[in-house]
A and B are shown apart, each in its own frame.
Chain A
Amino acid sequence: MTGEEILKRLLGILQDLAPEADVRQLDPDVRVRDQLDIDSMDLLNFVIAVDEQFGVDIPERDYPKLRTLNDLVRYVEVRLGDDATLEPGSVD
């Protein structure tokens, strides 16, 4: 799966969480939380959706690393990558 495809699906998840926003306008380098009105319940629903759609289980200890859209895409990309030995916490 390419980064572009991952981004498209992540945006779809975010759009479901914040239907009032236009997620295509998000700045990929700015904290998502600063751009969308999301709370911890939204974050949990996001993580659940990522698990369902990508098969990627994001542990809570990695939450602080997932600040921007670019962080998210890279994280999922790495977790889906061939390097199965890569520890989830190593994405930085």
Chain B
Amino acid sequence: MGETPPHRLPEADPPWVMRTYAGHSTARDSNALYRRNLAKGQTGLSIAFDLPTQTGYDPDHELSRGEVGKTGVSIAHKGDMHDLLDGIPLDEMNTSMTINATAAWLLALYLVTAEENGVDRGTLQGTTQNDIIKEFLSRGTYAFPPGPSMRLIADTIAFTVDEVPRWNPINVCSYHLQEAGATPVQEIAYAMSTAQAVLDAVRERVEPDAFPRVFGRISFFVNAGIRFLEEHAKLRALAELWEELGRERYGVTDEKYLRLRYGVQVNSLGLTEAQPENNVIRIVLEALAVTLGRDARARAIQLPAWNEALGLPRPWDQQWSLRIQQILALETDLLEYPDIFEGSKVMDGLVEELVEGTKAEMAIVAEHGGAVEAVPYMKTQLVESHRERVGRIERGELKVVGQNVFTGAEPSPLQEGEDGGIMRVDPEVERGQIEAVRRWRSSERDPGAVATALEDLRSAARGASTNLMPATIACAHAGVTTGEWAGSLRDAFGEYRAPTGVSDAAPTSEDESLVALRERVEEVSETLGRRLKILVGKPGLDGHSNGAEQIAVRARDAGMDVVYEGIRLTPQRIAQAAVQEGVHVVGLSILSGSHRELIPDVLRSLREASGAGNGSGAPSVPVVVGGIIPESDARELLAAGVARIYTPKDFEITRIMADIVELVAGCAAVSDVSASGTLASLAQGAPRQ
């Protein structure tokens, strides 16, 4: 046999781990879905949890309303985890869990489930996402203030490095930063800064000889956008910076610990609602970004579905995305060659640009005192970058086929089915889960053991140097619920609201339409007697605030007074704010699919809070809604009293604003033809009959 020539590998590389981000409704339903996915050739699990599980609330908590089983599976205790993993060989499976604020808890449930099935901890493989900084910056499923959150992360890492050595305790996420608008430089700079903050925190909690192993267990979860060559360069730059950080800051010398390990979910931000079939092509190209060059190839990949901008994907949609991975890995010759970009002037140049830019940006974060202290700075930068991106699409400088160019199209047969091309979660699931968790609390566990476990957890939380994992595992054993675990820690650590990043956002660049709109706002404000005031609210647990933030900033730049309270608001709080602040219009943003429950709740609360009770179905101030809202739901919401609905295809924010201003002007004209809005406001404050 001759020697292998340098442009070939002696044997093809094995494929990466192929996953689908999946889970919905109950643990049993999701278990059935996982088994089907594994049978289709998926090689790892990626568990999507619903928002109550992610933020530490039980299904019967007020904030859970409308969210149970929606964006993922509801896991309230170890019984649910047993159902979820039933029949899946845990000693062979590689399980990724998208879980952050409550990562320590879900990891404990996983460990206890394995133990009760006779599987040794030492054999378990998988990943807990466990990156809280990006939750403050982008995704919004945080539960505790930054200090205690970082402690929980450090505790899980310090615990797993010896106890569950094949587990990746944290997946530092750059993914969500890109979704929030980050440029490639911001994406890697903020992720690297986060990893550094985590490593610094863990360094104080493990023996020095264990530290290189800790470094080796840190993995990244990245994004890949449509500019797939630059995106590939981004990953090469990240690998270079990571190795340098390990050597220089932490003195790691072992090559195997210095290698960048990353998984990927490609970009959802660039997927369009208009002509959604085109998204498949985008997803393929983005998959190339993370597989083309062997030196920076992903270890695990999950791809979004073509219809994510329309609603929740169905199993068939996810299967199509799995097939993309399989064709890429098994039919093409991708895995047969060494790194194809070695020696490429273009690639080296791009990497160098990104490395330089990243170092400069990391230095700014360091000046702010590191990633934790720099959250407000980074958030403001992201809101800025996103604003810039949205503006470029609006102006047509950034071309998006089907959205701002070539918009005429044949009707899509993919959306013709009875379900409109998306999945719906049965609303009965929520009621079932509420009953189930109540039954679990009252009759399926030993109350004395639960009380003791929670007391031990609270006392561990008070001792700042105690690792919280043992007490958390004891809680899982005793049958404590997700809400009880997180609630005890909320009591100990306090609640937290992350910065919104909008206050310091620079003004939108001036263009004719904005200037014209501003004049119109002045006119309408004159008629109203005071400046047009809007409340931008995010009801429920959905933390994806990027859209709401862009609306808030643009409303300000159009000359409105904007009340923006950030995420996770109950309908009652939104209604109270609307009345107390005397706003003229309420704008709600919701992306988690819970609009059918939460929007009518807000309308009801508004009617009650303003004492209107006029029976007409319309609240006393107009309510507009933006989000991923299927056509048929939109009709229902309009009938329920919503004044306007905007979906991702309404990408021109200035135009949305102009529409809202005319809506307010119209309401003022109808409610009071005589003069100012004075009389309207008087009637609003009338005592209830």
Partners in one complex: no
